Amino acid sequence: MIKQQATTLLLVDDHTLFRDGLRQLISHWEEFQVVGEAANGQEALELCQQKLPDIVLTDIQMPVMNGVEVVRHIRAEFPTVCVVILTMSVEERDLFEALKQGARGYILKNISAQQLRERLHEVMRGESPLSSAIATRILAEFTWQREGGAGGAVEPLTEREIQILQLVVEGLTNEEIGAELCLSGQTVKKQLSCVLQKLHLNNRVQAAVYAIRKGLAE
């Protein structure tokens, strides 16, 4: 059997002790490999160019260059790299900017080790993990960079599609939504893609914002 290649990670945080602990934790997960560490955004960009990791796991508030700038530069220069925010900050301005710049996930540092592992798997499946504690709060205010939100006429959603949207707002993954609705994760993914197409949206974050603004979810 051919061993699957590990997903590579770059850790970006100005707290050395936290980085050390995170690196040691991830070293026990055979499907992930830490290929570099940086104490600020500038170091992160230099290492990203050298290592080209699959995922950059970065804090928001750092010296020299903060996490929002990290997202912006990496998405512009290394579009194949996924940037995930891992922070204790719930500053809406920073989080909104990170969303607009293209961060893939938004995770609070108070989650468990197993939850972090699951969230990283979600990223590799193309999903956008959100800590449930902040999902509704940030999505309720977030304005994506498409004037007027969903543009053009939209097709009506089915009752099932509305249910899926409501669970997206709660920060659930496709697998978790499937468990709630007795569907497979793959079926949820297909139905969510249909929702995005109907609403002329690009991702589940925009879909969640749409649901909140239209009163489909709270």
Reported as a single tens digit per residue, the pLDDT across 158-189 is 889 888 888 887 777 888 899 999 999 899 99
What percent of the chain is modeled with pLDDT above 90? 43
> Which among 83, 108, 141 is the end of a domain?
141
CATH of the domain at 198: 1.10.10.10
What is the span of the domain harbouring residue 69?
A: 7-141
Q: What's the CATH code of the domain at 95?
A: 3.40.50.2300
The answer on 207 and 130 residing in a single domain is no
Q: In 3-state terms, what secondary structure has residue 125?
A: coil
Say yes or no: 90 and 192 in one domain: no
Let me know if residue 163 belongs to a domain.
yes
Same domain, 51 and 77: yes
Same domain, 59 and 25: yes
99 lies in the same domain as 203:
no
- Helix, strand, coil abundance in the chain, percent, nearest 5: 50, 15, 35
CB 100 within 8 A of CB 145: yes
- Asked whether residue 77 is assigned to any structural domain, the reply reads yes
Q: Answer whether 0.85 is exceeded by the pTM.
A: no
Tokens matching residue 13: 């945080």
Provide the β-strand partners of residue 85: 58, 106
Contacts of 71 (CB under 8 A, 6+ apart): 58, 83, 85, 98, 101, 102, 103
Mean pLDDT of 117-121: 92
- 88 located within any domain: yes
Phi-psi region of 148 (alpha: psi -120 to 50; beta: other; left: phi over 0): left
Q: What CA–CA distance (Å, rounded) separates 36 from 48?
A: 9
Written as six digits, the tokens of 152 are 């053009």
- What is the per-residue pLDDT for 217? 63
Render pLDDT for 48-97 as a digit per residue (tens, 0 to 9): 999 999 999 999 989 889 888 999 999 999 999 999 999 887 776 677 67
- Is residue 85 within a helix (H) or strand (E), and if so which, with residue range? strand 82-87
Residue 15 has φ and ψ, to the nearest 5°, of: -100, 105
Instruction: Identify whether 147 is part of a domain.
Output: no
Q: What is the pLDDT of residue 136?
A: 58
**Weakest-pLDDT range from 107-116, 181-190, 201-210:** 201-210
Structural domain includes residue 171: yes
Number of structural domains the chain divides into: 2
Please check whether residues 84 and 189 belong to one and the same domain. Answer: no
- Per-residue pLDDT, averaged over 34-45, amounts to 95
Whether residue 97 is found in the same domain as residue 186: no
48 occurs within a structural domain: yes
* Phi, psi angle pair for 33, to nearest 5°: -140, 125
Strand-pair category, 82-87 with 105-108:
parallel
Report residue 77 as tokens: 């220069």
Q: Which one has a higher pLDDT value, 187 or 213?
A: 187
Determine, yes or no, domain membership for 205: yes
- Residue 108: phi, psi to the nearest 5? -85, 150
Is residue 149, in this structure, part of any structural domain at all?
Answer: no
CA angle 115, 93, 41 (to 5 degrees): 70
Share of the chain above pLDDT 70, in %: 84
